[in-house]
Structure 1
Amino acid sequence: MIELTLPFPPAVNNITAVVRGRKITSKRGREYRAAAVEMIQGQYRGSQIDGRLQVQITLVAPTRQKRDIDNYSKAVLDAITAAGVWDDDEQVDRIEIIRGEIRKPGAAVVTIQEVAA
């Protein structure tokens, strides 16, 4: 089992932008990914996981703002992919998203486990 603590992610609507008709990763999305990858590299030094996975994400929001918790997993999963913990988030067969407590500055606590074959 791997446990990672990442910065609180931007919502899926804020990680991409359309520029000249092309969809790109927004500045906010790039900044989040860079910060999350740096945190992941400080916490996980193991080899890349090749198997099927289950992931639990506990969102520790920084404020009481209303949030649809399903809008935050993409930034988290993409950052874990970019950090090389796994090859692709396609490996995730099960994902659970939990609304955690409210605490500044916010975080995403991620637990990764391999699924038995």
Structure 2
Amino acid sequence: MIELTIPIEPKAQTRPKFGRGGAYEDPKMKAWRGSATYLIKSLYKGEKLQGYLKTEVTFYLKAPQIVSKKPTPKAKAKTWERYERFMSERIYCAKKPDLDNLEKAIYDSISDANCIWWDDNQVVEHTTKKIYSPNPRIEIKIKKI
């Protein structure tokens, strides 16, 4: 099993833009994908996996201030409890970005890195979640099945 922690803030895959010259990718998305691809290449030194694959991906996202701001000493117990859950990474994110677009961005970056799998169509089973965290990153486990 491959386990990687990619130290980059998750970003959702954007839709292609259309202009006079045809379709093109958003420059910010292109830069993010380049960074993610570089990190994956630098983190993984093993063989390419063949056959069917199963992934478990956790996207640790930056939280809104209402969740991430440290409460004052006089704050209600409920506020402190929410902050403690945030600090221990136990609050799911049910807001944008969409999970499938986050997954598409990281899978495409892994495919671009050309070192873990031949193509993301090898992934036949997956579990994915998004959680608020004080330390945004992407954790992925890839297993041959």
Q: Number of residues paired by the alignment?
A: 113
User: SS of 1:32's equivalent?
Assistant: helix
Q: Runs of 5+ in structure 2 lacking a partner?
A: 65-92
Q: What is the RMSD computed on CA atoms of the aligned residues?
A: 1.9
1:111 alignment partner AA: K
Give CA-to-partner distance per residue, 1:18-72, whole Å, 9 cap, x none.
Answer: 2337333221221111111111122101121112101111010012382232321
Distance (Å, rounded) in 1 between the aligned partners of 2:4 and 2:16: 24
Partner of 1:94: 125
- Which structure shows the higher strand fraction? 1
TM-score, normalising length: structure 1: 0.83
Indicate the structure whose relative CO is greater, using CA pairs within 8 Å and at least 6 residues apart: 2
- Does residue 108 (structure 1) correspond to residue 133 (structure 2)? The answer is no
Percent identical across equivalent pairs? 28
Tell me which structure has the larger Cα radius of gyration. Answer: 2
| 5+ long unaligned stretches in structure 1 | none
Q: What is the DSSP-based 3-state SS (H/G/I as helix, E as strand, rest coil) of the residue aligned with 2:10?
A: coil
Residues 25 and 59 (structure 1), Cα distance of their counterparts in 2 relative to 1, 3 Å cut? same
**Structure 1 stretches of at least 4 aligned residues deviating more than 6 Å after TM superposition:** none
Q: Distance in 1 between matches of 2:19 and 2:50?
A: 35
1:108 to 1:16, Cα distance in 2 relative to 1, 3 A: farther
